[in-house]
Amino acid sequence: MSEKTPRTVVVTGASSGIGAVAAARLAERGDRVAVVGRNPERTRAVAESIGGAAFVADFTRFDEVRELASALSERYEAIDVLLNNAGGLISTRTDTVDGHEATIQSNYLSPYLLTRMLLPRLEESARRGGTARVVSTSSMANRWGRIDLTDLDSTDRPWRGGWRGYGTAKLAVVLFIRELARRTAAREGVPGVDAYSLHPGTIVTNFGSGSPLIRFGTKVTGGRWGTTADVGAAPLVALAADSPVPAVSGVYFDRLRANGAVARAADDVELQHALWAKTAEIVGLPI
């Protein structure tokens, strides 16, 4: 019996925290892992430690995301899983070189761009009978997000330590994944690409280290206000693993529980479609 060909799994935000743990766990399962991170030294260190390949990109720059997509497409004929885990909470409002608020760009706009550009490789995985799956890290914070298609950068709203913008970005992820699931569903005998979003849990890592609220919580609890990166990575690994997901494509998971609580707007099919179209316009892709 011939050995099974290793799957190709791309993990973004993999230079530290739950992304690094997920990359290591998937590599232990025999997957060929592309480790994507912003910090060159940490990204290469993680890749070397798990026998993966390092790819460096800053998700606050569309040009680097496009270069990343090109590099991945050139190296891999098929991609079985794209695990979109890059992003985070930015406590001080910052605009990127592309003219967008950094939270919405790093958590949503750039992952959307990367996913769209890698779809041909994911579709090739589907044709070969591979996993063909997109898994995107969202958050329970999606419940306080608010999507205004005329102001995705939240220029007209109070910043409040970045929490509102973070919630909006994570709601955008849920909406995007639901629209992606519909657009890439299997039809007429052609295999599809499945898509899922998830809340990994409340994790004590470097996430939100610039937030006064998180720093205060860490101080008064001795860092015990959340769980570890090992525990937080478990839902990412479960959804990216080479096994069936116990839910239909498009579902949002609260850790390992399907159909977690989402903002009411997440169920708005018209908003899902409109956000997709608006984002395509922003990143310069066809609808």
The mean predicted confidence, pLDDT, of the chain is 91
Residue 88 has pLDDT above 50, yes or no: yes
pLDDT given at position 188: 85
Q: What is the residue whose two structure tokens read 């080479």?
A: 242
Cβ(239)–Cβ(253) below 8 Å: yes
Per-residue pLDDT at 132: 98
User: What pLDDT digit, counting tens, does each position of 192-239 carry?
Assistant: 999 999 999 987 655 444 544 444 334 334 444 457 889 999 999 999
Top-level CATH class of 8-202+229-282?
alpha beta
Structure tokens at 128: 């070969």
The average pLDDT across 182-198 equals 95
Q: Identify which of 48, 67, 153, 72 has the alpha carbon closest to the alpha carbon of residue 106.
A: 153
Q: Where are the beta strands (DSSP E) in the chain?
A: 8-11, 32-37, 53-56, 81-84, 133-137, 194-199, 252-254, 257-258
- Look at residues 174, 166, 54, 160 and name the one whose alpha carbon lies nearest to residue 107: 166
In this prediction, residue 217 carries a pLDDT of: 38
User: What is the percent of the chain with per-residue pLDDT over 70, rounded to a whole number?
Assistant: 91
Please give the positions annotated as active site: 166
Q: Which residues are registered as beta bridge partners of 257?
A: 254
